[in-house]
Amino acid sequence: MSLLAKTNRLPVGLDDFFNTDWFGGTTNHVNRIGFNTPAINIKETDDSFHIYLAAPGVAKDDFKIELDNENLSVFTEKQNQEETSSDKYTRKEFGYASFKRTFKLPESIDGTSINAAYNNGILEVTLPKKEEAKVQPKRMIEIS
């Protein structure tokens, strides 16, 4: 029987490993009235990194993306208030929802060329690599 099956817990250290974001990100998995911290995928290609953030139901205009030195933050906050009144009662409801994901970017990122697109509930942030960080094609070296 494995350690996980006996204790229903991961061994010390592995628990932290699986609860840490890659890319230096910070997470807060607390449900904040309406939004959970969105799931992300990060993909590296020869020329760039792509961050895919799943946030269905969030409007494109509700997102804010901020670059502060080597920290990239994606966040949103939404407030709504509804009031119904009649001669016998007044009902007020309000809500507030937000999330924020922050990523510490590697030095290989060209911060001046970052762009983002939102489609079908997925926010894609493209982080191009600096020219010197891109994978160079194979070449033959002549021997003199």
Per domain, the residue ranges of the chain are 23-133
- Amino acid 53: pLDDT: 93
The tens digit of pLDDT for each residue in 57-91 reads 888 999 999 999 999 999 998 777 888 888 887 88
Query: In the CATH scheme, what architecture does the domain 23-133 have?
Result: Sandwich (2.60)
DSSP annotation string for the chain: --HHHHHSSPPTTHHHHHTS-GGG-B-----BTTBPPPPEEEEE-SSEEEEEEE-TT--GGGEEEEEETTEEEEEEEEEEEEEEE-SS-EEEEEEEEEEEEEEEPPTTB-GGG-EEEEETTEEEEEEEBPGGGSPPPP------
Q: Considering the entire predicted model, what is its pTM?
A: 0.64
Question: What average pLDDT is seen over the chain?
Answer: 78
